[in-house]
Structure 1
Amino acid sequence: MQPKLSFDRSSGWLRVKESKKKKIFDFSSEYLNFLNACKTERESVDFIKKEAEKKGFRNINGSRKLKSGDKVFYESNSKNIFLAVVGQPKINVVVSHLDSPRLDLKPLPLIEESGIAFLKTHYYGGIKKYQWLNIPLEMRGVVMSKGKKINVSIGEKDDLYFTITDLLPHLSQKQMEKKASEFVEGEDLNMIFGNMPSDSKKKVKESMLSLLNKKYGMIEEDFVSAELELVPAFKAKDLGLDRSMMGGYAHDDRSCSYALLRAVLDSSKPKPTSIALFVDKEEIGSEGNTSAGSMHFVNFLEMLKEKCSWKERINEILISGESISADVTSAFDPFKKDVFDVNNSNELSKGVSIEKYNGSGGKYYGNDASAEFFYRIRSLANKNKVIWQTGEIGKVDIGGGGTVAVFLAKLGINVIDAGIPVLGMHSPFEVISKLDLYETYRLYRVFLNEQ
């Protein structure tokens, strides 16, 4: 029989049966529930921990001895969480990130101008600032007040929105002459918070502080230590007349995070120890003690080694380990062909993207997987009939991007990127394919559940 010579780049929908399509749609529906419930890292960690505990995972700090098949989790600062299913002292690791581009409040954000109260913001991650104008926003996060942690969520559930207004087109002649990067300044991303003074003697700002104090017990000083995020208020939903796609906020990288969560929850007595890492701060370079660049993963591994009575040294476990960086990548946009290499681009509904390298220009600031390890992962995908594709984020000299893969590589672990192609990445409303989400889950599952 003559071998197939060409790489199959046909639509994944043409390669699946009707019975599998139902699984894809059911899986995607559950993902949308997660995406709408979890719009911050803290909410995501809470969700992951609850789902893990339902499946028998327990806090590693409360475990004295561990054996093969045991399931544990490790949480840090409510901003990252690691899950492990114990096997042999060889590790298969998949890491995703829970943070997404957004607007954070400044330390003292509340101001009043012309009878309107505003909250000043500091954008987080790489955004096109103009995309955050005139869209419905909500505020989520935590406030520390009087020694207590207060969860704050104001928006969709209260049947109210916030927004940052743009200039009307009738007065925008000079504005429209500016470059897109200068169209709106960061200091002008001020969210409308209120407009009604409580009486003739009080300003609107004072009325807003009174409302916050009444509902949450807050005073203005509490803003200083708060973690309050402004995120799009609209819900993620099916997209397209055929419902083959999904549109919403934070597919980057919660789509990969959800696929990873389901994969590790479905792991049962794998031969290697399966580890799922859900980290923070990727969008700002993985700086900070809840990021992939922190010591938490090594600390977690030390705890596993001790409680499992492994004889191997940590360095030996790391260097013999294998890992996948679970992050999204760019999807080809047919109306913006000038920034893509058409033959080396990922497309919607052609499966999980497995990328040998990332970075920018001459592969700067990126990971480059070895030929042997890429072959191992694509062979695993092919053996299990996972639909996959490969590509680059864009043309060589146009730009680029990196992932947390570099931080695992620094520990000596073999690592490759594999994730979901996204249209409109880093915008308030990103687009992904349901099929790509499901195939990404399948790749993570077979990798973590190897026997």
Structure 2
Amino acid sequence: MPADALAHADDLAAFIAASPSSHHAAAHVAQRLVDAGFTRLEENEPWGSPSGGRFVVVRDGAVIAWVVPDGATAATAVRVFGAHSDSPGFKLKPRPTTGKLGWLQAGVEIYGGPLLNSWLDRELRLAGRLVLDDGTSVLAATGPLLRLPQLAIHLDREVNDRLALDKQSQTQPVWGLGEADSADLLGEVARAAGVDAARIRGYDLVTADAAPGRTFGHEDVFFAAGRLDDLASVHAGVAALAKTGTDGDHIAMLAVFDHEEVGSGTRSGAAGPFLSDVLERVWLSLGADREQQLRSLAGSWCVSSDVGHAVHPNYAERHDPVVQPRLGSGPILKINANQRYATDAVGAAAWAGWCAGAGVAGQEFVSNNAVPCGSTIGPITATRLGMRTVDVGIPILSMHSARELAGVSDLWDLTRVAEVFFRG
């Protein structure tokens, strides 16, 4: 395995460890880019965004960053690399300290579509944001705190023949011993954040696998971690944008949205106004009128990057019999006749060109006709903005598991193609 690919995987492991929630991911992206010379902007302050600048702005669990080239005009086109910061799992409910029979438990609600059995018998963190009595938000993340213990086989002799978890009664993790009326789960989170639990007025807290990401397998070809869907794409976009200079002929932009796993219909989701708000402010700073904005959109691109299914050696019948993406064979172009992905012929040709420019082999993904296809931020972005959009990503196994599996070389190759996309 090339040293660059292994170093990239190690950096991804650190990135994931620092991003256990969407709010952490957005903050960490912003900090990485600030460290790379970007200017942090706030939505409630004037921007300016002159030519030859590099900027980043955070909205809740979403983040958008962009590079304005030297000599940008009112009709300069935009190239957006889109991804999302959230992952399926569990979210803390109101009055979360529960328990019985001497066990302390956490009241959680299922977020998105997690592969429930994959969360059993793992040490889990709680992470997200706390909103305090003065309206300020504080990021919080515990160490290993929770666990969903599975019932022993001796007490369920048919468990290997069928495993169906009750989504309410059998998904409440344990976190200690004692009685619920004398314990405080939020107090544990507050201590981790260094704040007084009595000041907490609201919270968005989710579970995350506590185990670090790592490479393994013959010649270290595999990479396993939680939240690869879709931090693998976020990391690729950050690494690529950080290397992008101001000498291009278009505005290079990274757009990382929250809430993709639950439909994107929020102020920080792809169906919300965040991207259009940022684009309009950038255009206004360049003196663009409405016609010039539309001209810019007409020449713009969005690469919607999210994971797709690699062919599974134990379940080959669930995949298309011909189009079968493999780990280690390059990023994937995602295609769906019913427009669950936004790729069309023009987008396919452009993606092939960017891959060729990076010296990267690409592959395609299409679903088995008998297996329903998921979707991404791609069709949403294309519909909201009219921007030409192509859906891509990396192939993985165990999608929506607490711990997913990717190919080390694919992670590196996606970043290399993103660099070419941003350069033009």
Q: TM-score, normalised by structure 1?
A: 0.85
Q: Deviations over 1:308-329 (max 9, x none)?
A: 2234433332232111001111
Q: Within 1, Cα distance between the matches of 2:222 and 2:196? A: 42
2:140 maps to which of 126, 144, 152: 152
Aligned match of 1:443: 417
Aligned match of 1:116: 103
Q: Within 1, Cα distance between the matches of 2:158 and 2:333? A: 45
2:175 maps to which of 190, 193, 209: 193
After superposing on structure 2, the runs of 4+ consecutive aligned residues of structure 1 that deviate more than 6 Å are none
Q: Within 2, Cα distance between the matches of 1:348 and 1:118? A: 38
Q: Within 1, Cα distance between the matches of 2:146 and 2:390? A: 40
1:164 aligns with 2:148: yes
1:107 aligns with 2:97: no
Aligned match of 1:68: 51
**Equivalent residues of 1:420, 1:437 under 8 A apart:** yes
Structure 2 counterparts to residues 11-410 of structure 1, below 5 A: 21-61=2-42, 65-77=48-60, 79-87=61-69, 88=72, 89-147=76-134, 148-156=136-144, 161-173=145-157, 178=162, 180=163, 182-196=164-178, 203-208=179-184, 212=188, 215=191, 216-219=195-198, 222=200, 225-269=202-246, 270-311=248-289, 312-355=291-334, 357-358=335-336, 363-364=337-338, 366-392=340-366, 394-410=367-383
Alpha-carbon deviation of 1:342?
Answer: 3.7
Q: Within 2, Cα distance between the matches of 1:31 and 1:328? A: 15
**Equivalent residues of 1:117, 1:208 under 8 A apart:** no
Q: Within 2, Cα distance between the matches of 1:375 and 1:175? A: 48
Q: TM-score, normalised by structure 2?
A: 0.90
Q: Within 2, Cα distance between the matches of 1:64 and 1:340? A: 48
Q: Deviations over 1:300-346 (max 9, x none)?
A: 01110111223443333223211100111111111111101242121
Bigger drift between 311-320 and 118-127 goes to: 311-320
Structure 2: gaps (5+ residues)? none
CA separation of 1:264 and 1:63: change in aligned 2, threshold 3 A:
farther
CA separation of 1:171 and 1:417: change in aligned 2, threshold 3 A:
same
**Equivalent residues of 1:263, 1:444 under 8 A apart:** yes
Q: Within 2, Cα distance between the matches of 1:138 and 1:239? A: 23
**Equivalent residues of 1:96, 1:278 under 8 A apart:** yes
**Equivalent residues of 1:98, 1:278 under 8 A apart:** yes
* Structure 2 counterpart of 1:188, one-letter code: Q
2:407 maps to which of 433, 436, 439: 433
Structure 1 or 2, whichever has the larger Rg, is: 1
Equivalent residue of 1:400, what SS?
Answer: coil
Q: Within 2, Cα distance between the matches of 1:65 and 1:132? A: 46
Structure 1: gaps (5+ residues)? 1-12, 14-20, 197-202
* Structure 1 counterpart of 2:373, one-letter code: G
Q: Within 2, Cα distance between the matches of 1:108 and 1:48? A: 31
Equivalent residue of 1:260, what SS?
Answer: helix
Alpha-carbon deviation of 1:211?
Answer: 5.5
Q: Deviations over 1:261-294 (max 9, x none)?
A: 0111111122111111011011111121110111
* Structure 2 counterpart of 1:205, one-letter code: D
Equivalent residue of 2:183, what SS?
Answer: helix
Alpha-carbon deviation of 1:151?
Answer: 3.3
Q: CA RMSD of the aligned region, Å?
A: 2.3
Q: Deviations over 1:408-441 (max 9, x none)?
A: 2112111111111111111011111111011100
Q: Within 1, Cα distance between the matches of 2:154 and 2:91? A: 30
Bigger drift between 278-287 and 48-57 goes to: 48-57
